[in-house]
Amino acid sequence: MLRAAYGAYLAAALLCLTGLAPTLLLVPLGAHFVWLHGVHLKTWLPGAVSAVSWDSERGWRLRFARGHWVSAKLAVPVFVSRQLAAVRFRCAGFRRRAVLVTWDRCDADDFRRLRVRLIESAHGSGDRAKVSGT
Residue spans per domain, the chain: 2-41, 49-127
Reported as a single tens digit per residue, the pLDDT across 12-67 is 666 666 666 666 666 776 777 776 666 666 666 777 788 888 888 888 898 887 88
Helix, strand counts (H, E) of the chain = 4, 5
Reported as a single tens digit per residue, the pLDDT across 101-129 is 888 888 999 999 989 988 887 776 554 44
E strand or H helix at 16: helix 2-18
pTM for the whole structure: 0.60
